[in-house]
Amino acid sequence: MRRALLLAAVPSLLIAQETPTTLKDQKALAVTIYNDNLALVKDTREVRLPKGEARLAFQEVSAQIRPETAALRNLTAPRDFWVAEQNFDFDLLTPQKLLEKYVGEQVTVVRTVRGEGAGDREVREAATVLATNNGTVLQFADRIETSVPGRIIFPKVPANLRARPTLVISLHSGVEKAQQLELSYLTGGLSWRADYVANLAPDEKTLDLSGWVTLTNQSGAAYPNATLQLVAGDVNRARQRPERALAKADMVMSMAGAAPKMAEESLFEYHLYTLDRPTTLAVNQTKQVALLTASAVPVRKDYLLQGQNYYYSGSYGDLGEKQKVGVFLEFDNKESSRLGMPLPKGILRVYKRDSEGRAQFVGEDNLDHTPKNELVRLKLGDAFDVTARRKQTDYKSLGRQGKFGSVHESAFQVELKNAKKEAVTVSLLEPLPGDWEVIQESHPHTKEAAGTAKFRVTVPAEGSATLTYRVRVRW
């Protein structure tokens, strides 16, 4: 019965007088932003609705709102309140759009005629807009012109042309009074990412870490004094249509001093971060707010030389001089290391001060979502003063041996040089194919994985060290 009454009332709802609401009516605003260009907006406004049918023009919503996700709730009088229809008007008012809407309609053209003595005077003529494609075509009483000979006066703004993105909601209200209405919807155009800055101590044993949240608003709407929450995690979304291209944002950076870190909590299989104060997200703005700070976090530096598994399948001889040795930093995301907070993915940039005390950039790497108590490992670059020369000193193909198939035996020599004034330890990761066995070695190895042997070699200051080993592999 209620459904039948609702459908019968729809025609009257569509012709009801429009009640506008703008940001001036806003009482509360909450924005939850996800990593993947998605946000949930909850906009609460106080609006005086007439009793019975009404058309509410909810102005200044996001230009990238997903209208199918919009839901309006009456927080004051929910019992005798229902929504019949919603229309998102995104055809925004511009001079060109206004002209296009008047094709086939009459306008007034005002032009200035130079006079003598009495000065200039204005002449007004009625004209019909014939076309606006690739120029304007106007029909006057005695001629047709293909440009605008003056300025145009329009009698009114068409009903379906809005100054701002507007959600028009046809509804029924049981009372006539000011009511609290909450509109919630999903929108594109809002995104965030984490950025981290680490300052490495002179002895490279600790670092100071600052985390920043970079917020970008390209949604076409402003969000003043909003309660801001961020969701870190990979939320699944059904893909129905391509995302619209985004305009370039103006960069507004608010790199203040140390600030309280965001409150963090678990949410389903994700993590939710809440800013401790309201903030304003202006249109086409990128801003930063503090996520976390940590001082004197213990850090370890690792030099790594990575091998290749093809070394063991044939005779190659010299495998390269001055091979690059990667430089890595790693630390534990634990409370005992002065951290212990789930870290959302982002870029971590590392700086170190030179002899004059000036901070210098020494490398960056991508940090994936990192839970509490996990290891953070970053590649900052390749060492300048630590190099390697690798060569194959022997190779034998031992043919087939029973069920193991073909058997190969290879011997290698890796010479490591260190031009630094302090000793370094280099890790060598050797990916070995098939069933393998190290049968001779100058330095002991560990089996890091089924197909990986790891050697650790200490190289003296301004000196060199040589690793030799022989390995037998069966394919």
Residue-wise pLDDT tens digits, 185-201: 999 999 999 999 999 99
Indicate the burial class of 183 (C-beta count within 10 angstroms; 0-12, 13-18, 19 or more).
buried
| Pick from 387, 381, 449, 398: nearest CA to 420 | 387
β-pairing, 223-232 vs 26-34, is: parallel
In order of 3, 31, 101, 447, the CA distances from 328 in angstroms are 66, 37, 62, 21
Closest CA to 99 of 140, 152, 159: 152
What CA–CA distance (Å, rounded) separates 65 from 75? 22
Each as own residue / partner, the long-range contacts of residues 362-371 (CB below 8 Å, 24 or more positions apart, any chain) are: 362/200, 363/327, 367/194, 367/196, 367/343, 369/232, 369/233, 369/234, 369/342, 369/343, 369/344, 369/345, 370/333, 370/342, 370/343, 370/345, 371/333, 371/342
The residue assigned the tokens 């001036």 is: 24
Burial label for 263, CB within 10 Å (0-12, 13-18, 19+), is: exposed
pTM of this structure: 0.73
* H/E element, 9: helix 2-14
Q: Which residue pairs from 8-14 have beta carbons closer than 8 angstroms and sit at least 24 positions apart in sequence?
A: 9/53, 9/84, 9/172, 10/84, 10/85, 10/170, 12/53, 13/53, 13/54, 13/55, 13/84, 13/85, 13/170, 13/171, 13/172, 14/55, 14/85, 14/170
Residue at 236: amino acid letter: N
Tell me the pLDDT tens digit for each residue of 401-417.
666 578 889 999 999 99
Give the amino acid at 68: E
State how far the Cα of 47 lies from the Cα of 179, in Å rounded to an integer.
Answer: 5
Tokens representing 186 are 């999903």
What string of pLDDT tens digits covers the 475 residues of the chain? 444 444 444 454 445 578 999 999 999 999 999 987 899 999 999 999 999 999 999 999 999 999 999 999 999 988 889 999 988 877 767 788 888 888 999 999 998 887 666 667 888 999 999 999 888 999 999 999 988 888 899 998 887 777 778 899 999 999 899 999 999 999 999 999 999 999 999 999 999 999 999 999 999 999 999 999 999 887 776 765 544 433 333 333 333 344 456 888 877 778 888 988 999 999 999 998 999 999 999 999 999 999 887 887 778 878 878 889 999 999 999 999 999 989 999 999 999 999 999 999 999 999 999 999 999 999 999 999 999 999 999 998 887 766 657 888 999 999 999 999 999 999 999 999 888 999 999 999 999 989 999 999 999 999 999 999 999 988 7
Q: What was the pLDDT predicted at 30?
A: 96
From residue 28, how far is each of 42, 181, 190, 419 by CA, in Å?
8, 10, 19, 62
* Residues 344, 271, 377, 352, Cα dihedral to 10°: 40
43: its two tokens = 């906009």
Q: How many C-beta neighbours within 10 Å does residue 342 have?
A: 20
Q: Where in the chain is the domain with CATH 2.60.40?
A: 2-92+162-187, 300-333+374-474
Q: Where are the beta strands (DSSP E) in 90-189?
A: 106-113, 121-131, 137-139, 144-145, 151-153, 166-173, 177-187
CATH: 2.60.40, 3.30.450, 3.30.470, 2.30.30. Which one for 2-92+162-187?
2.60.40
CA–CA–CA angle 202, 207, 213 (5° rounding)? 135
Give how far Cα 10 sits from Cα of 49, 52, 85, 407, Å: 17, 12, 8, 82
User: Which is it for the CA torsion 360, 364, 367, 371, positive or negative?
Assistant: negative
Distance of alpha carbon 87 from alpha carbon 67, whole angstroms: 8
Cα torsion angle, 93, 96, 100, 102, sign: positive
CA 133 to CA 135: how far, in whole Å? 5
Pair 290, 258: CB distance under 8 Å: yes
Model pLDDT, residue 4: 45
Q: Are 392 and 319 in contact (CB under 8 A)?
A: yes
- 300-333+374-474 CATH choice from 2.20.25, 2.40.128, 2.60.40, 3.40.50: 2.60.40
Which tokens sit at 251? 């960069």
Q: 430 to each of 164, 165, 205, how far by Cα in Å? A: 62, 59, 28
- pLDDT (0 to 100) of residue 116: 67
Structural contact between residues 107 and 129, judged by C-beta atoms closer than 8 angstroms = yes
d(CA 305, CA 312): 17
